[in-house]
Structure 1
């Protein structure tokens, strides 16, 4: 697995500083390390600890290794390309509806009316209007729309 450097490890009255060990398992706030190859521990200490110790993530120097960002946890190239394809389709879909939203906005008095004319949801209409700077009606179902939107 991944080799990490530990700044400080205390067990009873003994202290170990700046030693390397293999990352065995991650927990929420700690990691289990395999010390069988570490030179900082004696044979007897390794036997006492059963070749494994648990250390706080804060005491590890390589933060990326314990945060779960190594090659196994990275998404595959196929997954990344499929995500990009989905976002591209969404962008194309918004472009396709921009003209319809602009026409419906000029003919309607409320945002809900625009959504009904186009046949899409209000949030979708708002995203398209924001992206293509289309002025939507200022009224929403007969009530004034909040100015911060």
Structure 2
């Protein structure tokens, strides 16, 4: 199947590090490996283990090999697709408000006045101005803007 590298395997008081083995079966948090071709194990150890060991997925270097395709990956994909759609809609909404914010920014003295005129929050106005490079007034409700913002 697939050859993987195991960082660490412990059985009793013996420890094996950095060896290669053949991936046979994936489990939820572990994987069954064939060690018959591995040079780290002695012949007696291979016979004791029946050429098979079960190792935690955390101990395996090649994460993609042991990940497989399971329901959690499908769920993550659908969630990501949903988030992308929401992100796209929000970007379209910001693009829709950009001309109004640009016009209001040229006529108003404060950020709050712009937000009231457009009917949106000051953070939304700042986000749109930042994304579409609209110059906003330096004063926010009569107080100077902090330079770090």
- Under a length normalisation based on structure 1, what TM-score does the superposition of the two structures give? 0.67
- Aligned-residue CA RMSD in angstroms? 3.4
Measured after TM superposition, the shift of residue 79 of structure 1 is: 5.3
Measured after TM superposition, the shift of residue 114 of structure 1 is: 0.9
Residue 45, structure 1, aligned to residue 49, structure 2: yes
Aligned length: 136
| Structure 1 stretches lacking a partner, 5+ long | 27-31
Closer, same or farther: CA 132–53 of 1 in aligned 2, 3 Å? closer
Q: Secondary structure of 1:71's match?
A: coil
> Aligned partners of 2:109 and 2:15: how far apart in 1?
76
> Aligned partners of 1:62 and 1:115: how far apart in 2?
51
| Structure 2 stretches lacking a partner, 5+ long | 39-44
Q: Is the 8 A contact 1:6 1:61 kept in 2?
A: yes
Q: Is the 8 A contact 2:3 2:20 kept in 1?
A: no
